[in-house]
Chain A
Amino acid sequence: MVDITPADGIPPAEVAEVELYHPHSWWTKYVFSQDAKVIAIQYSATATGIGLVALVLSWLMRLQLGFPGTFDFITPEAYYQFITMHGMIMVIYLLTALFLGGFGNYLIPLMVGARDMVFPYVNMLSYWIYLLAVLVLVSSFFAPGGPTGAGWTLYPPQAIMSGTPGGQDWGIILMLSSLILFIIGFTMGGLNYVVTVLQGRTRGMTMMRLPLTVWGIFTATVMALLAFPALFVASVMMLLDRVLGTSFFMPAISEMGEQLQHNGGSPILFQHLFWFFGHPEVYIVALPAFGIVSDLISTHARKNIFGYRMMVWAIVGIGALSFVVWAHHMYVSGMHPYFGFFFATTTLIIAIPTAIKVYNWVLTLWRGDIHLTIPMLFALAFIVTFVNGGLTGLFLGNVVVDVPLSDTMFVVAHFHMVMGVAPILVVFGAIYHWYPKVTGRMLNEALGRFHFWVTFLGAYLIFFPMHYLGLMGVPRRYAELTDMTIMTESAHHLNSFISIMAFIVGFAQMVFLFNLIWSIRHGREAGGNPWRATTLEWQTPQTPPAHGNFGKDLPIVYRWAYDYSVPGAKEDFIPQNIPGSFGPSKEPA
């Protein structure tokens, strides 16, 4: 336990100040911009736009499930195209892009006290390649045969065969190409985020003084850089199977009475590659959310985050462990059954650091001074939703319990809770929290509360009952629920109820979008630090922060990010760049 670091003990900057790129025209300032803040907005806007497509697709799917046989235009073919595009967009093109490309770009330089990302030009390229990936993805809606309907897991052989929509048309080719582009673009951005955190921190900003937001995004980015290559090679190999007729994943197949030309490939190899990426991907989305929500809770409860060091180690530990649990998605895939022992054990071990995070969030509330602002409400909703979804993970991770439940609606309910709704709630909380910094104005409070209550309770009502349909045995990815002997009449009514809730929740998002646009001009003036927060992004001389972020001199950091309600201090927060001792600061050494 040290007191605060005296000013003369501040180490010299690790990297000398570099010449910032200064834009000269409107184009280089707002379009081909190299400023991480502009790139962040571009990433966020694109991700939101494509996310809306995924939202509309979820309505169409719910129409079919809630009211089977009513909507003729939703054929099984269309239904499978919808789930595939919905799932892939939500996971990759919305959440990954938003957390890393959006929040990462905006917050990393500001929070570590840097003027920009370390490689601004590559950072700009990263966005444009992402945009290209999105456009390629969208183009598949207009291609002959439509988008692929292989499910977001794209399992071969069906993904490239004619029984699956887009399998022998353009759909799967465009999907794989888009993923390859996304990974190239992400790698450019990701290297930037990592190097900026490691090398671009301002003086005094040690790693153990980083806000947890930065820790979450940083660890997720490292993971993504290690995990995406597996998807990359899998995509390239599948593309070769489809286009050149190789047999990486294709064994001998007799399709509808006809022998295909493939021979000797392994479908299950694809699953291993996919989930070696796919499981870490869950945490690539979750860790930034963990980090951000920690900061929201601490700021709005006016209390230091409880157990900061434990939180950092939990983030790093979860990140590392998540590379050895992938086959828990494959318990019933037909892999060697003895793998089940190993992967069930690692999977349940990962529950321990995850539980520690939850404890530390709720213990931060304990003896806090809780302001029930909208970001705080979303943070609370996140904990409830995440705990619910995390606990059902203990069902699915425990290999033998997964046997009846896998590939049922129980799984759909579980992953929506834990990696769909929970991170999205953090996204909302974060937007209400940082919008004032980005625009200088507050979001409308009344609309925000309406949005919060409908989204939180609505999403819970959609996905909580859905577990019980899965327990009953209703499989996922069923475009038609007719002639199911296990489904009672009341189960169909439950499905209709879920669909109606899905529409209500979707409507609330329109209110949110309206708020986002309306408040740019009409929101209340926010000032530089409306939440009275300690981290550096709130200490910028201008709001919104100008090009270069911090005026003439970079801030010097004297303390950790969580000096809230320090005994003896006049205010109930001490920004990180304020020197001096205020009684017994107990920053962990």
Chain B
Amino acid sequence: MAVALVLVLIVVGSVLFHLLSPWWWTPIASNWAYIDNTIIITFWITGIVFAAVVLFMAYCVFRFRHREGNRAFYEPENKRLESWLTIVTAVGVTALLVPGLFVWSRFVNVPSDATNVEVVAQQWQWSFRLPGKDGKLGTSDTRDVTADNPLGVIGGDPNGQDDVVVEAADLHLPVGKPVKMLLRSIDVLHDFYVPEFRAKMDMIPGSVTYFWFTPTRTGTFQVLCAELCGQGHPLMHGVVVVDTQQDYLAWLGQQQTFAQLSAPLQTGSADQAPGKTMASGLKIAAKLETVRAR
């Protein structure tokens, strides 16, 4: 009795929790409402299955609990029932998979009018690079990373000279324009994740990964690192500001290009490597200190 009741309460409680609790996703700010819809479909199908199985168990426990003189029914198998259940399950699974794969193909096929934005992660901060007037990002290599050239842009590549470099500061994006985020890391794995955009992807040193999205509303959004990257991982926050076109251009005008950034520093680079002499433990402590202060 009590057991059957508890099983029913688990179903009722879970459903009520789902419907009434205040914990739910953040309001979306990208075109990936498709993903939200797929989640809703999945909630429906799985919720129904969960309720059906547990309520069926509750009924069995109540109806077939042991009483004096009871005897179980001897039935080793029932081919028809088993086939039916298999077919129904296969149909349910297909109903989940097909829309899922459909949305995935959108997710991985980037529209041709998307602009490239590069994100470069390092322990434990985010930097960004936007193509300049030529619309192309210069090539880069981790081995070219120095204090003057924190993103490792290859100096000899003419395409890179006009690239806009945003080091350890906020990224701005214009609303309504699709962007392809090109993701790079110069040290360990990281993951660029903005909950409101519903998208994320790991960044791997030595590779360029990507995802794309279209920001659908203006606002300021927090970037979270979603791949364990060492002690500073939970502090590795960043900011993406989605602007109107006008505000975006104003911001862009204030940024510096790769050429501008590297020119003056080429002479005064005596203090470029204070880290080299520091023990690695101290360097990490110092780095954490700066990340925390931000």
Residues of A within 8 A of B (CB): 76-77, 80, 149-151, 155, 157-158, 161-165, 167-168, 251-259, 265-268, 301-304, 306-310, 332-334, 337-338, 340-341, 344-345, 348-349, 351-352, 355-356, 358-360, 362-363, 365-372, 377, 380, 383-384, 387-388, 391-392, 394-395, 398-401, 403-404, 406-408, 457, 460, 464-465, 468-469, 471-473, 475, 477-481, 483-486, 488, 490-491, 494, 562, 564-567, 572, 586-588
Closest to B226 in A: A407
CB distance from B100 to the nearest CB of A (A): 4
- Segment touching A, from B142-150, B163-171, B255-263: B142-150
In this complex, what residue of B is CB-closest to A263? Answer: B143
Q: Which residues of A sit under 8 angstroms from B284, Cβ to Cβ?
A: 162-163, 256
Q: Is the CB of B231 within 8 A of A370?
A: no
Residues of B within 8 A of A564 (CB): 72, 74
Given A163-B123, A304-B76, A372-B61, do A471 and B25 touch, yes or no (CB 8 Å)? yes
By size class, the interface of chain B is 35 or more
How long is the Cα–Cα vector from A104 to B101 in the complex, in angstroms? 40
Quick check: A352 and B188 within 8 Å, CB to CB? no
Q: Does B248 contact A (CB under 8 A)?
A: no
A400 pairs with B100, CB closer than 8 A: yes
Which partner residue on chain B sits nearest A494 by CB separation?
Answer: B23
9 CB < 8 A contacts A-B? A76-B235, A253-B188, A348-B97, A367-B75, A369-B64, A407-B227, A460-B10, A475-B226, A488-B23
Confirm or deny: B108 has a beta carbon within 8 angstroms of a beta carbon on chain A.
Answer: yes
Known: A333-B204, A404-B32. 11 other contacts (CB 8 A): A76-B234, A251-B204, A256-B187, A304-B76, A394-B45, A398-B100, A400-B35, A401-B39, A404-B195, A481-B234, A565-B74
A471:B222 contact, CB within 8 angstroms: no
B183 near A348 with CB under 8 A, answer: no
A349 CA to B234 CA, complexed, in Å:
36
A-B interface pairs (CB < 8 A), number: 347
Q: Which of B35, B57, B283 contacts A403 (CB 8 A)?
A: B35
Chain A residues with Cβ under 8 A from B54's Cβ?
384, 387
In whole angstroms, how far apart are the Cα atoms of A452 and B90 in the complex?
34
B3 at interface by CB-CB < 8 Å: yes
Interface residue? B22 (CB, 8 A)? yes
How many Å from the CB of B128 to the closest CB on chain A? 17
The answer on a CB contact under 8 Å between B89 and A334 is no
Q: Are B89 and A351 in contact (CB under 8 A)?
A: yes
Closest chain-B Cβ to A533's Cβ sits at a distance in Å of 14
Chain A residues near B234 (CB-CB < 8 A): 76, 475, 477-481
Please tell me if B133 contacts chain A, counting CB pairs below 8 Å: no
Binds A, one of B79-87, B111-119, B153-161: B79-87
Per a CB cutoff under 8 Å, which of A358, A392, A480, A587 touches B46? A392
Q: Is there contact, CB below 8 Å, between B70 and A155? A: no
From A398, A408, A572, contact of B226 by CB (8 A): A408
B207 within 8 A of A: yes
Most buried by A among B34, B45, B54, B60: B60
Q: Measured between C-beta atoms, what is the minimum distance from B43 to chain A in Å? A: 8
Residues in A neighbouring B64, C-beta threshold 8 A: 301, 365-370
Asked whether B89 lies within 8 Å of A356 as measured between CB atoms, the reply is: yes
Q: How far is the CA of A572 from the CA of B74 in the complex (A)?
A: 10
Q: Pick the residue among A76, A303, A351, A464 that contacts B17 (CB under 8 A).
A: A464
Tell whether, in the assembled complex, residue B78 and residue A258 are in contact, meaning their CB atoms are under 8 Å apart. no
Q: Bound state CA distance, A391 and B72, in angstroms?
A: 30
Q: Which chain B residues lie closer than 8 Å to A163 at the CB level?
A: 123, 187-188, 229-232, 284
Measured between C-beta atoms, what is the minimum distance from A454 to chain B in Å? 13
Chain A residues with CB under 8 Å of B60's CB are 362, 365-366, 368, 370
**B42 CB-CB contact with A under 8 Å:** yes
Question: What is the CA–CA distance of A586 and B79 in the complex, to the nearest angstrom?
Answer: 14
**B135 close to chain A: CB less than 8 A:** no
Complex Cα spacing A252 to B185, Å? 11
Check if B74 sits within 8 Å of A586, measured CB to CB: yes
Cβ-neighbour of B96 out of A253, A341, A348, A404 (below 8 A): A348
B72→A400 contact, CB < 8 A: no
Contact A377 B195 (CB under 8 A): no
A307 touches B77 (CB 8 A): yes
Q: Decide if B216 is an interface residue (CB 8 Å cutoff).
A: no
Interface centre among A302, A332, A387 (most CB of B within 10 A): A332
**Residues 215-240 of chain B: 1 if any A CB is under 8 Å from the residue's CB, otherwise 0?**
00000011011111111111101000
CB of A341 within 8 A of CB of B10, answer: no
CB proximity of A449 to chain B, nearest CB, Å: 10
B237 to chain A, nearest CB (A): 7
- Given A256-B280, A380-B3, are A155 and B228 neighbors across the interface (CB < 8 Å)? yes
CB nearest neighbor in B for A333: B202
Given B46, B93, B276, which contacts A257 in the complex, CB threshold below 8 Å? B276
Residues of A close to B66: CB separation below 8 A: 302, 369-372
**In contact, A149 and B231 (Cβ under 8 angstroms):** yes
Docked CA distance A494–B32 (Å):
28
Is B251's beta carbon under 8 Å from chain A?
Answer: no
| Given known A163-B229, A566-B74, contact A158–B23 (CB-CB < 8 A) | no
When distances are taken between beta carbons in the complex, the residues of chain A under 8 Å from B108 are 337-338, 340
B138 within 8 A of A: no
CB contacts (< 8 Å) of B209 on chain A: these are: 334
Q: Which residues of A contact B281 (CB under 8 A)?
A: 162
- Which residues on B sit within 8 Å (CB–CB) of A301? 64, 72
Cβ-defined contact, A480 with B142, below 8 A: no
Chain A: minimal CB distance from B138 (Å): 17
Which of B24, B35, B45, B85 interacts with A468 by CB under 8 Å?
B24
Known A332-B191, A344-B101, A490-B22; judge A310-B82 contact (CB<8 A).
yes
A368–B63 Cα distance when bound, in Å, is 9
Chain A residues, Cβ within 8 Å of B74: 303-304, 564-567, 586
- Measured CB to CB, the nearest residue on chain B to A584 is B74
Decide if B172 is an interface residue (CB 8 Å cutoff).
no
**Residues of B contacting A491 in the complex (Cβ-Cβ under 8 angstroms):** 23
CB contact between A254 and one of B25, B32, B152, B230 (< 8 Å): that residue: B152
